[in-house]
Structure 1
Amino acid sequence: MNKKYIFLLFLFFTGFTHLAAQENNIATGNFSVLNWIILAVFLIGTTVFGELVKGKDKGLDGFFKGGNNLPWWAVSLALIATTTSVSTFIAVPAFVFSPDGDLTYLQMTFGFALGSILMIFVLLKEYYQEGIYSPYDFIQNRLGVKTSQLSRTFFMGGATLSQAVRLLGTALVLSVITGQSTIVCIFIITVFAVVWSYIGGITTVVWTAAVQFAIFIFGALFALFFAIGDIPGGLSEMLTIADTKAKLVLIDLSLDPHKTYTLWVGILGCTFFQFGANAVDQVVTQCALSCKSLKEARKAVGFSALGLIITWVMAIVGIALVAFYDINPLSQNVASSIATEPDRIFPYYVVNQLPDGVSGVIIAAMFAAGISTLTSALAALSQTSVMGVGGFIFPKLKTMPEQKVVNISKYTIVVWGAILGLLAYMFSFSQGGGLLALGFKVPGYVYGTLVGIAFLALMRKGSFPAILIGSLLAVAAIAWMHNEGISFFWWFPVGAIVVMATAILHEFVFKKKEI
């Protein structure tokens, strides 16, 4: 990556913005030339910054683990940006703003915090002691190559689907601003994500994500302050309007497994989900493994739980939007558009209500945060497919010079970028209950299974045939739950329990027969 490519990116972006100006939709009117300049400078500046901070180590350890030389606080901010991203920034307000929405989603944050704590004390120590690149290396050391390849396959399937949803979320933001088609927006986001990942591997990913997070949280707080200030009567009036619309419901003690957001789902289902995201999803784990030591990694994961504050802030922003548009009703055309794609409501508000220039900074922050999340995924998918699956299929990779393997990994990033872009475009036709639900459903078929396999590896229990059967049974059970409309957060603990129970029962029966 050099100045020539940065210049080409600048030409590409300015050409895109010129094309974007040719179309118009419900949200383009207030996105001025100043805002476009801010957005262009922001993206090009981040690209230059990524070039400046890339690691000096040119080997595999430098490209995929940052030479284990990244400060814990930067890793922590990168973890927050990776796990919250644009999905939280636009989907949480959209959920609260929707006709049946309220604050019950915030119950999920309890489980998110517990899942991070579980990661700190259960698997992180094992990962650092064995000096691995990914959790699938840990599984391979404990349970063998076949089980690790099965885990990698599950991860790549789940990661491509979930990251495609996040890519779609960022594309929706840009689509609201420019009026361009979703496919054009997906394309430009993918180009920048590929470039950022290609520059310097995990080092560039972590530092750019950390910088974007700082602006990301500023955007959330400013939007909250401005939204409340825009309501006559301020906070008091906002809460009064929200209460009349039943938007302030926070705790749901229902035992109905079909309800998506209840306290029990938050404490149990979300704990398994977050533990899976931290412990067996290479997108997140790769960042945690780039710290200088186990002690610093634990601090990084622990402090990343503070990122849940963003979820609460964005939920309150959703309440403010309810009050604001109750006082200032949307036009019929806009209301119809929002009803079709509810995730557009917060970007629409930012573009049309915030001051010129400020809206550009906030949109740029959302846009860059979404790309930062995608860069983490591209780095993780590249590592898994080249060093994991690729090394198994093509043994020559293990004896190649490290720099050559790094170059192959960079080319793989481009391929994965194209795959994620295509999937994001396909998801744009079936947003169902919104991005918030879709973002959790798509990895639901694999996260629970991966958590179960990781626990089996920790216990050194389970043969490959039993784990394979257990994984298939877990997928079948989750498919049945999906068909029955059972909350997707229950899929994660059920998947883990089915895999573990099958493997342990098989081992018990096998040993009993031997006796």
Structure 2
Amino acid sequence: MKNWFTVLIALFFSFALYAQNETEIASSGFSILNWSVLIVFLLGTTLIGELVKNKDKGLDAFFKGGNKLPWWAVSLSLIATKTSVATFIAVPAFIFSMNGNLTYVQMTIGFALGNILFVFVLLKEYYEEGIFSPYEFIQNRLGVKISQLARTFFMIGATMSQGVRLLGTALVLSVITGQSTVVCIVIIALFAVIWSYIGGITTVVWTDAIQFVIFIFGALFAVFYAVGDIPGGFGEMMAIADKKAKLVLWDLSLDPHKTYTLWVGILGCTFFEFGSNAVDQVVTQRALCCKNLKEARKAVAFSVIGVVTTWLMAIVGIGLVAYYDINPLSDLVSESISSEPDRIFPYYVVNELPNGISGLIIAAMFAAGISTLDSALTALSQTSVMGIGTLVFPKLKTMEENKIVKISKRAIIVWGFILALLAFTFSFFQDGGLLALGFKVPGYAYGTLIGIAFLALIRKGKFVGVLIGAMITIIVIALMHREGISFFWWFPVGALVVMITALLHWSLTNKKELEQ
């Protein structure tokens, strides 16, 4: 472990000193004090991760924490995992943008309902079968082929969405230092890999819990200063926002092309959140680490409070609108923000907030970003090694658990490289902002996954029918994408297409078998 710290300290201090000598617009306000806060956060969290890691060896300890983790720590980890850096930088950026307003907050209704749906629909089934992942549940109910199809869709959807989240965190570091996006992606991916590598899910859960505390305080500080920087305070801030039509909250439109409406929040976003909890191993893995079903239900239900972070950052977005209405951006900065709107909040933090406080809020953004990324790495490792890996390399089934854990750790490194590469690729496709991109990229996969999960619940579905349904779903979603249908509708529509197709195939093949 000492070797890890020697490398990390040398790397980060070299990076900090080099960044201080750069001349760029956005990093001039990030002082040595701010760097100290950020470095203490990153290295301190790494040390804590080493101290709290599960000393037991074996797959159950590495991937489920031996089912010894307290529900409240799991709940905080769930919130941290789902509260990505998109919440911190993309929500304020959306409100600050030309046509932005508060309508995104309607999505928090679905975020809450999706958690409740998972608690009462699938969580009990998962615990009764003692599984490591939802794909084992699918395998037990529908067979190996369908479970492998589900794993494939998960890995595609997860790598795409996590690549976006890694990019979002890299943009924060890029604004601070003026360094290239590539360098920033590498730094963040490195810490995420190390935290996942140290002690598996136990380290991830405890570091996530710590990071939740950091980013919730960061959000509160951001709100305090965003309001405090406006002459006239909260009232003047709201008056300016109202003048700019930023306070629109409810949208009852039935137009499916509109991204954020009440109906999208209640239906589309509920399916999205249910899928995140029930069939996305990045999140589901947390819920399976509790001592029993009762503890798991408390963990998932309590995680609903995570929506508070979205509300807080929406207020920050309104504060940015008012502040830069009173203190207009320079032409040079304004042009930069227009090309990459997600840079606005990091720019404000670095250039307008007091030293130390800006370091704390930047650390909060890192906490949100890396907590999601390290969770993804453990989930992708488990799915690729224990799922697809056992089919490609049958020897894994009889190999000693300690050796499989070592292979899983190597897989974490490989997935870290893949996510870094994807993040770099996505840096060229930010026209709609990170908020939209983060929801769009998994849209092609998660609708299918949700449909398969429901089929497993009712124990109906054959591989051919599910495969045909998955292919039709991709075509349907591609058409919806082309027609500009809100991406949140992709999830329920995808699930319904898979289920209807698979059930029709099930009915027809069973009928033929009876006739023969």
| Fold conserved between structures, TM > 0.5 | yes
Cα deviation, residue 57, structure 1 = 1.3
Cα deviation, residue 163, structure 1 = 0.2
User: Counterpart of 1:26 in 2: which secondary structure?
Assistant: coil
Cα deviation, residue 18, structure 1 = 2.2
Structure 2 residue aligned with 1:341? 340
Cα deviation, residue 21, structure 1 = 2.3
Structure 2 residue aligned with 1:106? 105
Q: Which moved more, 1:429-438 or 1:25-34?
A: 25-34
Taking the aligned partners of 1:80 and 1:483, their CA distance within structure 2 comes to 33
CA contact (8 A) 1:253 1:262 kept: yes
What amino acid does structure 2 have at the position aligned with 1:211?
A: I
CA contact (8 A) 1:24 1:178 kept: no
Taking the aligned partners of 1:19 and 1:478, their CA distance within structure 2 comes to 46
Taking the aligned partners of 1:361 and 1:312, their CA distance within structure 2 comes to 19
What amino acid does structure 1 have at the position aligned with 2:499?
A: M
Structure 2 residue aligned with 1:52? 51
Cα deviation, residue 372, structure 1 = 1.4
Taking the aligned partners of 2:440 and 2:367, their CA distance within structure 1 comes to 24
Answer yes or no: is 1:447 the counterpart of 2:442. no
User: Counterpart of 1:476 in 2: which secondary structure?
Assistant: helix
Taking the aligned partners of 2:198 and 2:307, their CA distance within structure 1 comes to 30
User: Counterpart of 1:318 in 2: which secondary structure?
Assistant: helix
Answer yes or no: is 1:13 the counterpart of 2:33. no
CA contact (8 A) 2:211 2:371 kept: yes
Taking the aligned partners of 1:193 and 1:217, their CA distance within structure 2 comes to 20
Taking the aligned partners of 2:214 and 2:367, their CA distance within structure 1 comes to 9
> Structure 1 vs Structure 2: percent identity of aligned residues?
73
Structure 1 residue aligned with 2:436? 437
User: Counterpart of 2:247 in 1: which secondary structure?
Assistant: coil
Taking the aligned partners of 1:435 and 1:276, their CA distance within structure 2 comes to 20
Taking the aligned partners of 1:350 and 1:68, their CA distance within structure 2 comes to 40
CA contact (8 A) 1:86 1:169 kept: yes
Structure 2 residue ranges without an equivalent (≥5): none
What amino acid does structure 1 have at the position aligned with 2:321?
A: V
Taking the aligned partners of 1:392 and 1:476, their CA distance within structure 2 comes to 29
Cα deviation, residue 446, structure 1 = 0.7
User: Counterpart of 2:171 in 1: which secondary structure?
Assistant: helix
1:386-397 to 2 correspondences below 5 Å: 386-397=385-396
1:321-340 to 2 correspondences below 5 Å: 321-340=320-339
What amino acid does structure 2 have at the position aligned with 1:227?
A: A
What amino acid does structure 1 have at the position aligned with 2:385?
A: V
Cα deviation, residue 447, structure 1 = 0.6
Cα deviation, residue 121, structure 1 = 0.2
What amino acid does structure 1 have at the position aligned with 2:269?
A: C
Aligned-residue Cα RMSD (Å) equals 0.8
Taking the aligned partners of 1:257 and 1:369, their CA distance within structure 2 comes to 31
1:271-282 to 2 correspondences below 5 Å: 271-282=270-281
Residue by residue over 1:437-489, the C-alpha shift from the partner in whole angstroms, topping out at 9 and shown as x without a partner, is 00000000011100000000000001111001011111110011011111100
Structure 1 residue ranges without an equivalent (≥5): none
Answer yes or no: is 1:496 the counterpart of 2:492. no
Cα deviation, residue 24, structure 1 = 2.4
What amino acid does structure 2 have at the position aligned with 1:329?
A: P
Cα deviation, residue 359, structure 1 = 0.7
CA contact (8 A) 2:214 2:367 kept: no
Taking the aligned partners of 2:84 and 2:498, their CA distance within structure 1 comes to 31
Cα deviation, residue 329, structure 1 = 0.7
Taking the aligned partners of 2:356 and 2:321, their CA distance within structure 1 comes to 24
Residue by residue over 1:282-312, the C-alpha shift from the partner in whole angstroms, topping out at 9 and shown as x without a partner, is 0000011001111111111101011001101
Taking the aligned partners of 1:361 and 1:320, their CA distance within structure 2 comes to 19
Structure 1 residue aligned with 2:253? 254
Taking the aligned partners of 1:99 and 1:452, their CA distance within structure 2 comes to 37
Cα deviation, residue 369, structure 1 = 2.5
Structure 2 residue aligned with 1:462? 461
Residue by residue over 1:370-408, the C-alpha shift from the partner in whole angstroms, topping out at 9 and shown as x without a partner, is 111100000000000000000111111011110000000
Structure 2 residue aligned with 1:285? 284
What amino acid does structure 2 have at the position aligned with 1:150?
A: L
1:165-176 to 2 correspondences below 5 Å: 165-176=164-175
Residue by residue over 1:149-189, the C-alpha shift from the partner in whole angstroms, topping out at 9 and shown as x without a partner, is 00000000000000000000000000000000000000000
Residue by residue over 1:49-74, the C-alpha shift from the partner in whole angstroms, topping out at 9 and shown as x without a partner, is 10000001111000000000001111
Residue by residue over 1:1-32, the C-alpha shift from the partner in whole angstroms, topping out at 9 and shown as x without a partner, is x1121111111111211222232222111101
Structure 2 residue aligned with 1:204? 203
Taking the aligned partners of 1:395 and 1:510, their CA distance within structure 2 comes to 31
Cα deviation, residue 367, structure 1 = 1.2
What amino acid does structure 2 have at the position aligned with 1:378?
A: L
Q: How many residues align?
A: 514
